[in-house]
Amino acid sequence: MQLALDTNTWDIFLDSTGNIARLDDSTQNRLEDLICQRVRHRLQTFQGECYLDRSVGVPYFSEVLKKNPDLRRVKNLLVATINGVEGVKKIIDFSVGFLARTREYKVIFTIEAYDGTIVEGNI
């Protein structure tokens, strides 16, 4: 069981019965939301941020947020991160875009879950 997060605010929210919304793999739409949320969460975690295990996360400070990052290496790090997410069988499509002027990096992914569900998302 995992808490459902609003995709715009990343806050928890209440379901139709007034309880805190949860995600599980009991329905198809919920499975897609669950996998997508796991991938987005993993990609948004900086390495060293989790005090229980400092090795968890993407090495943004050492590999990404530096002058002239190796974009091929960054892409490989992100692909490896997504492949390590629970429930991900394989990546079907993966694209990245870097806007140098605003220093924004956009990730768009399509993955296949272990049960064959196709999940699309971006961050």
Beta strands 2-3; 22-23: pairing state: antiparallel
Q: Distance (Å, rounded) from C-alpha 76 to C-alpha 71? A: 9
Beta strands in 2-117 (DSSP E): 2-3, 22-23, 88-99, 104-113
Q: Do 15 and 99 touch, CB atoms closer than 8 A?
A: no
pLDDT in tens, the chain (123 residues): 677 777 677 677 787 888 877 776 454 457 788 888 889 889 999 999 999 999 889 999 999 888 888 889 999 999 999 999 999 999 999 998 877 788 788 899 999 999 898 999 888
Q: What pLDDT score does 65 carry?
A: 86
CATH code of the domain in which 7 resides: 3.10.450.40
Residue-range definition of the domain harbouring residue 18 = 2-122
Q: What pLDDT score does 82 carry?
A: 95
Place of tokens 């090795």: 55
Q: What's the total number of domains in the chain?
A: 1
